[in-house]
Amino acid sequence: MRAIWALCRASLFRKKLQNGLIALLILLAALLLGTSATVLSNTDNLFNDVHKRTNGAHQILTITKGLHDPQQLYQWWNEQEGAAASAPVPFRYLSGVSYKGEELPNLYVMMMDTPAQSPSVDRLLFADGTGENAPKAGTAWIPTSLAYTQGIKPGDILSFKTGTGVFELQVSAVVIDLPFGAPFSTTSRIWMNHNDYMQNMEGQKGSDSYMLGLRFQDYERQGEYWAGFEQHFGIPYLEGKVEFEEITAFYLILNRIIGFVMIGLGIVMMFIALFTIGFTISDAILSNYRTIGILKSTGLSSARIVGAYALEYALLATAAIIPGLVISRFASALILNNSLSVLKTSDSNALALQEGEWLAIAAGMFLLLLVIGCVMSFSQKIKSVQPAQAIRYGMSEAQSGRMARRLGTSSGMTFGRWPIKAVIAFKHIVKNGKSSTLVVALAAVTTAVLVFSCVLLNSIVSIKQTAAQWGYDSSDISVSFYNKEAYSSEDFEALVKGDERVKDAGWLTLLNGVLPLEKGSQGSASISLSVLDGSYDNLGFTVLKGSNPVLKNEMAIGINVASRLGKEVGDTMEIYIDGRKHTMLVSGIYQAIANMSNSARIMADALNMSGVTGNHDADVAFINLHDSRIADQYVAELNGKYPQSVTAATQQTLLDSEFKEATGVLIVPLGLLALLFVGVTFMIIYSVCRISVWKESGTYGIYKSLGMTNASIRGAITLGVAVLTLIGAGLGIAIGIFGLPGLLKSLLLDYGIAKLPLILPPFGIAVASVISAAAASFGAWHASRWLARTSPRILIIE
């Protein structure tokens, strides 16, 4: 054991650079794997913890059409054992919310009549401000999703437009409002004092809508309750319903993307570390072949020499994995606090990590076992070392013979036919086959990470170009009608259709569709239904299969609806709309991140809603202009003409307001990953090239003695690495565009996206490739700098 420890200690102190690099690679692999494990395990747990503390709802029912009696619903649900319901809360929809004199874009609010007593289901948590039973007169509570994105704090004033004017409310508290407070939320609940609600909202035309939350002891049995509901009332539930999956979706999506990407890159980093270890051990055996022969001739067994290598790398791995896992806790906390800031409360400025520690430790132990296994595998070559041959030749007799034959044989590549730099570069590549393979692999991985980060961020920033592929329209302008009783739909439609600047327009009504109870299922299912008076194709809506609906008996459905029902283009399906049953032909299947593709599209003709007289029910109007450059001007005109009833905005404004948060959350981890791999590429190539240059120092000493300059020799070495890097960069571009996005496919499918819409930036991809090649080339150039400081005589002697 003493001999093993002596060999191990000598190797640790003799190869400080190599050992430090390998330890760093193992640390980074542990960091990535530990961070991904902690992020993924804590994302669900942090949400579930808040959901439990608020006695959160599993489903939110909204009664806006008067198709059900809210009190009857509340009474029936409270009679069900294992289910609980909150009392119906009156609310009104509004748009046109202003802060500091500027209207907040793409924001739709539900003005809630706050109950006098805290509800038993779907309670609020106070993140900032004083917690009371209800807001005081003249004040309101707003959700963290609105407050944090807009920088609103308690004491600030918000202005709200109604059909009769504008009223103001002071923010008295910021609350965690779980069902409508997720990241990217465009709908917020504003909790008002009862008297303020009666004064400002009851005077408006129209009637109150109602909302109640449902919570189940066993959520998996909710289908049984809805089946009982249909049997009791004789009809399925026909109004709006927000499912638990929709409530949780946008709390979890970004962290799941980050976590899965980190897992993939952590595995890649792990394989890079293992490959480097294998390369280093193989090189060490060749370099110390004579020493190993001497040790074996003195009686030291092969198993003990292998044990020395195993002990060395076990110590390195342990020393690297422990700090890697410790740092991963801080990295995980940084990511979670950035992406789930909407769940922070006043008593904690940071989200506390709850789980994932043992999972991260398990990942670290697995990494340690892999390292030891890799070392044991590559060091088995020691068993084949014959002491006599090793002492005499410094290698096996067969290897010595092959080398002699190569030296005696003239190769096809000569200095006379090729530039000398190219010859040196070529020989450097061929003679160091394993290191050349490692350089190509590193360049490929680094380029893939850079390209993927660039493509993903560019696709989000430039989402207007692919809005239709995310399930949105591609119109120039969107107009929302938040106070329909305060404007004339006939006048608005006549104004738009009579304007020569308008190319085409469409009126969209959002309804709730109910898929009837099918054989073998439990309860009916609700889907979001888009009813359009206009052309889906003209407004830019796309489908994956088939076509958008054109006839009144046609319907396009989201991919998750098609998957759940097993429907394809050409099939028929039944759906309840406003309490009436319709049989529709599936004309197309589309993807949409909104509502997680649990939605459908039909024509207004299907409900006899087409024409000027029917568009008073429209929720949104889409407008295309002949010249999209005047969209901002046209928006200003519409907002000025209908200040109390509509909110117009360009599509770019709406998309920016919704996806800028995603860009902000993703740019930090993706940027750090890119920098990490660039740094790793530089360090590994520096180490590998330094080893190979040292091994060939005698050859380079001869080159210098023949008159070659230091710059020429170093340039030739760098040229060889640059060629390998370009080969790797080509592979990396393909992996970054086609391979890494595939990691997200199964994840995004749950959110209603089957094909990730990517926008490839040629300039960005080129820059990513250049950065990768520059890091590798600089590593090679820097590794050979000692040649310039060493005389030819010393190089030849060494």
- The helix/strand/coil state of 192 is strand
Task: Please check whether residue 580 lies inside any domain of the structure.
Answer: yes
Whether 462 shows a pLDDT value over 70: the answer reads yes
pLDDT, residue 12, reads 66
Task: Please check whether residue 547 lies inside any domain of the structure.
Answer: yes
pLDDT tens profile 312-360: 888 888 998 999 888 888 888 888 887 788 887 766 555 666 666 788 8
CA–CA separation, 603 and 538 (whole Å) = 14
* C-alpha 247 chain-centroid distance: 18
478 in Cβ contact with 764 (< 8 Å): no
CA–CA separation, 320 and 43 (whole Å) = 26
Q: 425-429, 549-553, 728-732: lowest mean pLDDT where?
A: 425-429
Task: Please check whether residue 477 lies inside any domain of the structure.
Answer: no
In single-letter form, the type of residue at position 208 comes to D
Task: Please check whether residue 232 lies inside any domain of the structure.
Answer: no
> For the chain, how are helix, strand and coil distributed in percent, rounded to 5?
55, 15, 25
Domain boundary among 582, 609, 641: 641
Residue with tokens 């590559």: 378
656 in Cβ contact with 463 (< 8 Å): no
Q: What is the mean pLDDT of residues 241-268?
A: 82
pLDDT, residue 714, reads 78
pLDDT, residue 349, reads 58
Whether 533 shows a pLDDT value over 60: the answer reads yes
Domain boundary among 222, 256, 286: 222
Q: 212-216, 331-335, 608-612, 627-631: lowest mean pLDDT where?
A: 608-612
Q: What is the mean pLDDT of residues 435-451?
A: 85
* C-alpha 68 chain-centroid distance: 39
pLDDT tens profile 292-314: 677 667 666 777 777 777 888 88
Q: 58-67, 93-102, 759-768: lowest mean pLDDT where?
A: 93-102
Whether 555 shows a pLDDT value over 90: the answer reads yes
Query: CA distances (Å), 496 to each of 115, 492, 645, 646, 796, in order?
Result: 42, 6, 16, 13, 86
Same domain, yes or no: 288 and 384: yes
For residue 397, name the pLDDT band (cuts at 50, 70, 90).
Answer: very low
pLDDT, residue 517, reads 57
Same domain, yes or no: 159 and 44: no
CA–CA separation, 333 and 39 (whole Å) = 8
- Going by C-alpha positions, the residue among 250, 241, 96 that lies closest to residue 182 is 250
Same domain, yes or no: 427 and 447: yes
The per-residue pLDDT of the chain, averaged, comes to: 81
- Going by C-alpha positions, the residue among 62, 65, 61 that lies closest to residue 580 is 65
Helix axis angle, 762-783 relative to 433-461, nearest 10°? 150
Task: Please check whether residue 648 lies inside any domain of the structure.
Answer: no
Domain boundary among 386, 403, 420: 403
CA–CA separation, 266 and 260 (whole Å) = 10
Q: What is the mean pLDDT of residues 443-464?
A: 86
CA–CA separation, 616 and 485 (whole Å) = 9
Q: What is the mean pLDDT of residues 634-641?
A: 85
Query: CA distances (Å), 437 to each of 18, 276, 440, 487, in order?
Result: 18, 11, 5, 70
Whether 521 shows a pLDDT value over 60: the answer reads no
For the record, the structure tokens of 385 come out as 């070392």
pLDDT, residue 408, reads 46
Same domain, yes or no: 508 and 625: yes
pLDDT, residue 549, reads 94
Entry field: residues in the chain: 798
Report CA torsion sign: 430, 435, 436, 437: positive
For residue 789, name the pLDDT band (cuts at 50, 70, 90).
Answer: low
**What's the domain count of the chain?**
4
For the record, the structure tokens of 606 come out as 């299907």
For residue 204, name the pLDDT band (cuts at 50, 70, 90).
Answer: low
Whether 525 shows a pLDDT value over 80: the answer reads no
Same domain, yes or no: 35 and 90: no
For the record, the structure tokens of 225 come out as 């309750």
Same domain, yes or no: 271 and 386: yes
Q: What is the mean pLDDT of residues 132-154?
A: 89
CA–CA separation, 489 and 71 (whole Å) = 33
- Quick one: three-class SS letters along 80-119? CCCEEECCCEEEEEEECEEECCEECCCCEEEEEECCCCCC
Whether 522 shows a pLDDT value over 60: the answer reads no
pLDDT, residue 351, reads 61
Whether 793 shows a pLDDT value over 90: the answer reads no
CA–CA separation, 333 and 14 (whole Å) = 38
Same domain, yes or no: 54 and 69: no
457 in Cβ contact with 663 (< 8 Å): yes
Whether 35 shows a pLDDT value over 90: the answer reads no
Q: 41-45, 237-241, 270-274, 414-418: lowest mean pLDDT where?
A: 414-418
Same domain, yes or no: 104 and 194: yes
Task: Please check whether residue 476 lies inside any domain of the structure.
Answer: no
Same domain, yes or no: 55 and 127: no
Highest-confidence range of 12-21, 36-45, 186-195, 789-798, by mean pLDDT?
186-195
- The helix/strand/coil state of 558 is strand
Q: Look up the domain containing 358 and give its range.
A: 1-59+239-403
Same domain, yes or no: 394 and 246: yes
pLDDT, residue 532, reads 92
Residue 163 half-sphere exposure toward CB, CA atoms < 13 A:
16
Query: CA distances (Å), 700 to each of 40, 146, 713, in order?
Result: 51, 66, 7
Q: What is the mean pLDDT of residues 752-758?
A: 87
699 φ/ψ angles, rounded to the nearest 5 degrees: -60, -45
For residue 614, name the pLDDT band (cuts at 50, 70, 90).
Answer: very low
For residue 700, name the pLDDT band (cuts at 50, 70, 90).
Answer: low
Q: What is the mean pLDDT of residues 453-476?
A: 86
Q: 137-141, 399-403, 598-602: lowest mean pLDDT where?
A: 399-403
Whether 795 shows a pLDDT value over 80: the answer reads no
Same domain, yes or no: 281 and 206: no
Same domain, yes or no: 55 and 69: no
Q: What is the mean pLDDT of residues 361-389?
A: 80
Task: Please check whether residue 482 lies inside any domain of the structure.
Answer: no
759-798: buried (b, 16+ CB within 10 Å) or exposed (e) per residue?
bebeebbeebbebbbebbbbbbbbbbeebeeeebeebeee
Whether 412 shows a pLDDT value over 50: the answer reads no
> Which residues on neighbouring strands pair with residue 241, listed in sequence order?
61
Q: Is the pTM of this model over 0.85?
A: no
166 φ/ψ angles, rounded to the nearest 5 degrees: -130, 135
Task: Please check whether residue 646 lies inside any domain of the structure.
Answer: no
Whether 798 shows a pLDDT value over 70: the answer reads no
